[in-house]
Amino acid sequence: MSLRKYLDKVKPNFEEGGKLHAFRSVFDGFETFLYVPNDTAKTGAHIHDAIDSKRIMSMVVIALLPALLFGMYNVGYQNYACANATATASAIDMFLYGALAVLPKILVSYIVGLAIEFAWAQWKGEEIQEGYLVSGIIIPMIVPVGCPLWMLAIAVAFAVVIGKEIFGGTGMNIFNVALVARAFLFFSYPTKMSGDTVWVAQDTIFGLGNAIPDGVTSATPLGQLAAGTDVTASLQDMVIGLIPGSIGETSVIAIAIGAAILLWTGIASWRTMFSVIVGGAAMAWIFQLTGQTPIQWYEHLVLGGFAFGAVFMATDPVTSARTETGKYIYGLLIGALAVIIRVMNPGFPEGMMLAILFGNMMAPLIDHFVVEANIRKRMNRIKQ
């Protein structure tokens, strides 16, 4: 209550005529993040419930935490594994090492992204939009741990300005903002986003971790698959997540916990998740029958960013299909295309990024045809 009283006391300074009126959007952003707004619509409005978009975004962040926390542990685990020191390191040592390696990336992502959001809102005289609450944590989770901080900052700036703000801000962007950042990094700095040297943090941090011997590399299972070599990781390690990969994408179990939270709260669409999995499984099964993939069809579902993309990015309500039938088509398209890219194009061992971006582009068209089909059905009923 004391915080609420303090905000009410200083609020007049930020309103029209106040000495801090120029920073009204900044104050409004903090106030609405802490408390549900008391403002009411002055014209007719359809109200579904009291949960605003900031609360929804906060719930998505909570759903991401299991994958993020495990990703921190796995960063430490991979460091000690490459140094052949896992037997002498405790789980706490591994987690602390990973946390210290990952937290700077999260800070850079939020500082750069939110600074641009605040500056843009001030410039336009609008409210600060809340969409970056989720993108800001997803972006560090879908890059290799070896991605330099300056590079991440450039990608964040590009994604926020070019991927979202020029389209009108949150709710108006065509492509998933986090994937725009990853695509920018992948095509601008490919050597820092792929290969065998970017997946393991190789520096000691405050005495934690072990120095990696020169010449030691660590390829992801998808990298091994693209290179035509045997995949050395076991199915158990793939599901648990003890494999090299992007920070938040390795553990299927942690991602499944996040999926359960999103589905339980009704934030994400089970139709989209289910369809992505079915599309990917069906296409992987076809490739397995024709002998074009050396791994089992179900292994495609637990490798790389497939599970993470299906749960947290394909379900983005802004860039995905919105009709119920369209969600099935949209998900099937993404799942199938992701596996096609993986198997048919060794230059892109992780096909989920391109598949979802293509799905984002096709989502409005899918919805259009679904709506038109429904209109034709209703017209036919009238004629009968």
The predicted structure's pLDDT at residue 180: 96
Distances from the Cα of 79 to the Cαs of 101, 187, 223, in angstroms?
Answer: 11, 27, 18
Q: What pTM was computed for the model?
A: 0.86
Round the average pLDDT of the chain to a whole number and report it: 85
Instruction: Place 183 in a pLDDT band, splitting at 50, 70 and 90.
Output: very high
Instruction: Place 327 in a pLDDT band, splitting at 50, 70 and 90.
Output: very high
Instruction: Place 74 in a pLDDT band, splitting at 50, 70 and 90.
Output: very high
For the chain, the distance separating the N- and C-terminal CA atoms, rounded to the nearest angstrom, is 63
72 bridge partner residues? none
pLDDT above 90 (res 215): no
* Residue type present at position 333: L
Phi, psi of 361 (to 5 degrees): -65, -35
What the block records as the tokens of 319 is 């860039």
Residue closest to 145 by CA, chosen among 104, 184, 176, 179: 104
Q: 169: exposed, middle or buried (C-beta count within 10 Å: 0-12, 13-18, 19+)?
A: buried
The residue with tokens 């919805």 is 367
**Cα gap 228→215, rounded to integer Å:** 21
The predicted structure's pLDDT at residue 32: 58
Residue closest to 146 by CA, chosen among 197, 189, 180: 197
**pLDDT tens-place string over residues 94-140:** 999 999 999 999 999 999 998 888 888 777 666 666 678 899 999 99
Cβ–Cβ under 8 Å, residues 193 and 222: no
